[in-house]
Amino acid sequence: MSNEFDLKDIKRRMDGAISALRTEFSGLRTGRAHTALLDNITVDAYGSQVPIKQVGAVSVPEPRMLTVQVWDKSQLGAVERALRESNLGINPMTDGQLIRIPMPALTEERRRDLSKVAGGYSETAKIAVRNVRRDGMEMLKRLEKASDISEDEQKAHEKDVQAATDKAIKEIDDALETKTAEIMQV
How does pLDDT run across 44-60, given as a tens digit for each residue? Answer: 888 888 998 889 999 98
Quick one: 53 and 117 in the same domain?
no
| Domain of residue 177, CATH code | 1.10.132.20
Is the pLDDT assigned to residue 63 strictly greater than 70?
Answer: yes
Share of the chain above pLDDT 90, in %: 39
Is the pLDDT assigned to residue 3 strictly greater than 60?
Answer: no
Domain that holds residue 98: 32-102
Mean pLDDT estimate for the chain: 87
Rounded distance between C-alpha atoms, residue 90 and residue 78, angstroms = 15
Label residue 31 by pLDDT band (50, 70, 90). low
Quick one: 36 and 64 in the same domain?
yes
Quick one: 112 and 180 in the same domain?
yes
Quick one: 61 and 94 in the same domain?
yes
Rg over alpha carbons for the chain, rounded to the nearest Å, is 22
Domain boundary among 74, 102, 130: 102
Is the entire prediction scored with pTM above 0.75? no
Domain boundary among 76, 102, 128: 102
Is the pLDDT assigned to residue 161 strictly greater than 80?
Answer: yes
Quick one: 98 and 48 in the same domain?
yes
Count of alpha carbons within 13 angstroms of residue 120, beta-carbon side? 8
pLDDT of residue 131: 96
Indicate the number of domains in the chain: 2
Please give the residue that has the higher pLDDT: either 1 or 41: 41
